[in-house]
Structure 1
Amino acid sequence: MDIKETIIETHREGIQVVQYNKPYRKNAIDPVMYQRVISILNSAAADDSISVTVLTGTGDFYSSGNDFSVPVEDSKNNLNILKDYIKAFITFPKLLVAIVNGPAIGIAATTLALCDLVFASENSYFYTPFTKLGIVAEGCSTFTFPRLIGDRKATEMLLCNHKMSAKEALDCGFVNYLYKPEDLQSKVWDKIVEVSKLPKHSVTATKKLLRDTVRSELLETNDKEMEELHTIWTMGTSGVRSKI
């Protein structure tokens, strides 16, 4: 399938929408899709016509996580791509919004903590089964989850493979708003359009102030998580083809 089909990019009045579009694999993200999103985010960062970037999925999943369907010997390159993908979230200077239209698993769940606003469907859930797969958490979740949802809940999620429901995610502050599945794509846009019209300089300057205090720690966490993943994959204790 062509890259333009697996990642759909559209624009509407200063809002850039990026859709994971591989519904036959529950929008699992492969290396080519990662590279496309990296390019989109890095380009949008310097594009004055874009004030908000929105991430969402097609079909009934936001994303089922990694889909590295490549030979094991390419795992180092995959990790470099994954590291750059996470870095693009960390360094993105504008508003980054996620519309979670269904379950978010692995990297799709962890990177939500790097977004500025998260709108979710009531039928979504958030699942990070890293230890179940014999690997370690990524997406800077070992830093962001305790800060966002507390140590206890972060331990449940990242160590004990707890599947967090949409209601629980709202209650603990992991998402901002919940919508009925049939209302998500219509009602969520009122809020997104509202924030897209805020003064750009004010938004970017305020986000910079918010992120400057933790950016170096996020980048360092990303490095450390990738190092641990590389060690595990090199040892062969986890299948590189697993979806996480």
Structure 2
Amino acid sequence: MNKYINYSKSNGIATITLQRSLAYNSLNHEMAIDFQRALDKAGAESDVRVVVITGTGKAFCAGQDLNEMVGPKAPSIKTVLTNNHDPIVRKIRSIKKPVIAAVNGVAAGAGAVFALACDLVIATESSSFIQAFSNIGLTPGSGSTHFLPRLVGIQKAMAILLLGEKISATEAERIGMIYKWVKDETYENEVHQLALHLSQLPAHSLMLTKMALNQSWSNDLENQISLENDFKCMAGESDDYHEGINAFFTKRKPQFNKHKTHYQDSTTQPLPPVRPLFPTKNKVDSNFSMVS
């Protein structure tokens, strides 16, 4: 994309790499805008099924470059949030494909929020997370107070944000803030294998599952059950579902994603007629059960 953002693509996996390592991948305006463009690109490209966000050097992202915030031409805090940080979080959340934060070092300030906005966070053992806004007289931003309580509970979130303490990767996994930590020496392979595995799963089903989980944060039980029913019917209409069922009965590995997944389709469109849950050409084993 530019000197600060690298965008690469392989085997259905788009990797967005923050590469301002001398500044611990802290964001200036130019870098933030190109980060947003990379997210738009990953979300729009139909051959991309998984997005990985990572950094170079010793940091994932150290948040805002404070050097940009001083001097007579410094932008206002509101300008930086509105134009630089908040759109990144919104774009990460709106991508209908699994988004992995591959945290390779410190994730601080807005950088920590970017990681927590992702669907899965995998971090090296030496990584750490810190949101020390209180240490410089600021308050959390870009959704920090939205994500943290939902991930770790209100008490732990309160402690993390009020005290500004560094959270190790091992502690972050223990309290449910991230998916998992891995040894530094196996990190790259673990990230690749995770992304590759996701890319081989049925993209349409993953998209609907992600959307359902995101909606669960604001839905009550009845609305969530209704949404799940709608999404399950939509998934039941997909070629991937029928491929999965046929593969089960013929005892072979399913070959998903042979047809284009319409990531931009609106889920508010009328649902198509629902086919039977099991293809009629297959005889169902009386001992077979499916956990829904």
Query: 1:52-201 counterparts in 2 under 5 A?
Result: 52-67=50-65, 69=68, 71-81=73-83, 82-201=85-204
Any residues of structure 2 matched to 1:193-212 within 5 Å, and which? 193-212=196-215
Letter in 1 for 2:188: Q
| Distance (Å, rounded) in 1 between the aligned partners of 2:195 and 2:154 | 30
Aligned mates of 1:151, 1:134 — CA distance in 2: 21
* Counterparts of 1:98 and 1:53, CA distance in 2: 9
* 2:120/2:178 contact within 8 Å kept: yes
Q: Is the 8 A contact 1:51 1:95 kept in 2?
A: yes
Q: Bigger radius of gyration, 1 or 2?
A: 2
- The one-letter amino acid paired with 1:89 is I
Map 1:19-38; keep pairs closer than 5 Å.
19-38=17-36
State how far apart, in whole Å, the 2-side matches of 1:163 and 1:197 are: 36
Q: What is the deviation of 1:72?
A: 2.8
Q: Once structures 1 and 2 are overlaid, which stretch shifts more, 151-160 or 75-84? A: 75-84
1:230-241 map, 5 Å: none
Contact map agreement 1:45 1:92 (CA 8 A) in 2: yes
Q: Which runs of 5+ in 1 are unaligned?
A: 217-244
Q: Do residues 11 (structure 1) and 9 (structure 2) align?
A: yes
CA deviation string 1:69-127 (max 9, x = no partner): 15334544322212212211221211110110111100111222211111100001100
The residue that corresponds to 1:48 in the other structure is 46
- Output the CA distance in 2 between the equivalents of 1:108 and 1:42: 18
Q: Distance in 1 between matches of 2:75 and 2:42?
A: 33
Percent of residue pairs bearing the same amino acid type: 29
RMSD: 1.7
Is the contact between residue 20 and residue 29 of structure 1 (CA under 8 Å) also seen in structure 2? Answer: no
Q: Residue 204 of structure 1 aligns to a residue in which SS?
A: helix
Give the aligned partner of residue 232 of structure 1: none
Give the number of the structure with larger relative contact order, counting CA–CA contacts within 8 Å between residues 6 or more apart: 1
Paired letter, 2:58: D
Scaled by the length of structure 1, what TM-score is found? 0.82
How big is the shift at 1:47?
1.6
Please give the alpha-carbon distance, in whole angstroms, between the structure 2 residues aligned to 1:122 and 1:75: 33
Query: Is the CA contact (8 Å cut-off) linking 2:88 and 2:114 kept in structure 1?
Result: no
| Local SS of the residue matching 2:123 | strand
- 1:161-187 deviation per Cα after TM superposition (whole angstroms, max 9, x unaligned): 111111100101111121111211123
Match of 1:242 in 2: none
**Unmatched runs of 5 consecutive residues or more in structure 2:** 220-292
- Aligned 8 A contact 2:20 2:56 in 1: yes
Q: Deviations over 1:181-237 (max 9, x none)?
A: 121112321121001111111111111111124479xxxxxxxxxxxxxxxxxxxxx
Give distance in 2, aligned partners of 1:116 and 1:191. Answer: 12
Bigger Cα displacement from structure 2, 37-46 vs 126-135: 37-46
- Matched length: 214
Contact 2:6 2:19 in 1 (8 A): yes
Instruction: Tell me the TM-score normalised to structure 2 length.
Output: 0.69
Letter in 2 for 1:20: L
Q: Indicate the SS of the match to 2:60.
A: coil
